[in-house]
């Protein structure tokens, strides 16, 4: 797919990974549409990207999503990147129920709501793309991050199912990609420890992978390379053996020291 000249809407793009994605698309010649919960972050991000536009958006508020879509009616988007997300670490019973629900509402329900609103516009384009930011935790158990992992497992299922539905309906002008990175140095996972032998990812590296995935119409991207190798080698193992390997590699304790974004 040709990125240059396209219009790209990125949710949660006021900072961190979302901004890096918007910036990477802008460098590739796309027009970035930045949305974020915080209006001040939207303004700051737009000021850094010449030609970008931005809107305050809470992805859990359908009326706000509808308003942003209406504002873009005369210049519909070609690419949607569902990036907005939250994470709350800690033992399951120690995390307030409200934060568990917030995780599901933002990471899953918000993503579905935004996609539901903008998919008709994408289907009307000659070529379009949906990118859902999942996580490596969509494949593994994540103690001290139970509902975060649950939301990402669900996002991956939604992504794969939507892609197949569009294929069945012969609406093949819209491609759908799942991006599944490990821990990223944005502060969201401060205090966490990556799997043994795996380094932290930078937002810029993940953002570049997103742009390339759209250009090449890739269905699935897992980062970093060590995660791809581990997934390929262990996918067929019995579940008990796989869990034991995750314990040995430190996956099961990766979130015990989480000190990430608290708000």
Active site residues: 148
Q: What's the count of helices (H) and strands (E) in the chain, helices before strands?
A: 9, 7
Distance CA(116)–CA(65), nearest Å, equals 10
CA-based nearest residue to 110, from 55, 60, 35, 162: 60
CA distances from 181 to 26, 33, 44, 48, 241 (A): 21, 23, 26, 25, 23
| Dihedrals phi, psi of 17, to nearest 5 degrees | -60, -40
* Beta-bridge partner residues of 174: 128
| Contacts (Cβ under 8 Å, ≥6 apart) of 129 | 1, 78, 79, 80, 122, 174, 175, 176, 177, 214, 217
CA-based nearest residue to 72, from 4, 125, 25: 125
Provide the strand spans (E) within the chain.
Answer: 7-10, 31-36, 53-56, 79-82, 128-133, 174-181, 220-223
Strand 53-56 relative to strand 79-82, pairing: unpaired
CA distances from 221 to 43, 179, 217, 227 (A): 31, 5, 11, 11
Distance CA(106)–CA(69), nearest Å, equals 18
């Amino acid at each position: 797919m040709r990125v240059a000249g396209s219009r790209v809407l990125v949710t949660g793009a006021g900072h961190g990974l979302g901004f890096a994605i918007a910036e990477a698309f802008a460098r590739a010649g796309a027009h970035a549409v930045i949305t974020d919960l915080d209006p001040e972050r939207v303004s700051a991000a737009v000021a850094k990207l010449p030609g970008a536009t931005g809107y305050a958006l809470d992805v859990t508020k359908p009326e706000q999503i509808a308003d942003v879509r209406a504002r873009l009616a005369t210049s519909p988007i070609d690419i949607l990147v569902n990036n907005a997300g939250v994470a709350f670490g800690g033992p399951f019973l120690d995390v307030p129920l409200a934060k568990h629900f917030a995780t599901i509402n933002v990471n899953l329900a918000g993503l579905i709501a935004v996609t539901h609103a903008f998919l008709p516009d994408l289907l009307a384009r000659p070529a379009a793309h949906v990118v859902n930011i999942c996580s490596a935790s969509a494949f593994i158990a994540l103690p001290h991050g139970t509902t975060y992992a649950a939301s990402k497992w669900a996002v991956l299922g939604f992504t794969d199912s939507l892609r197949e539905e569009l294929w069945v309906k012969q609406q093949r002008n819209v491609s759908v990609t799942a991006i599944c990175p490990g821990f990223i140095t944005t502060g969201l996972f401060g205090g966490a420890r990556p799997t043994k032998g795996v380094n932290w990812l930078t937002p810029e590296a993940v953002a570049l992978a997103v742009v390339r995935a759209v250009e090449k119409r890739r269905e699935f991207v897992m980062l970093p390379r060590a995660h791809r190798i581990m997934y390929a080698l262990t996918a067929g193992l019995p579940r008990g053996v796989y869990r034991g390997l995750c314990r040995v590699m430190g996956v099961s304790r990766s979130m015990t020291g989480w000190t990430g974004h608290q708000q």
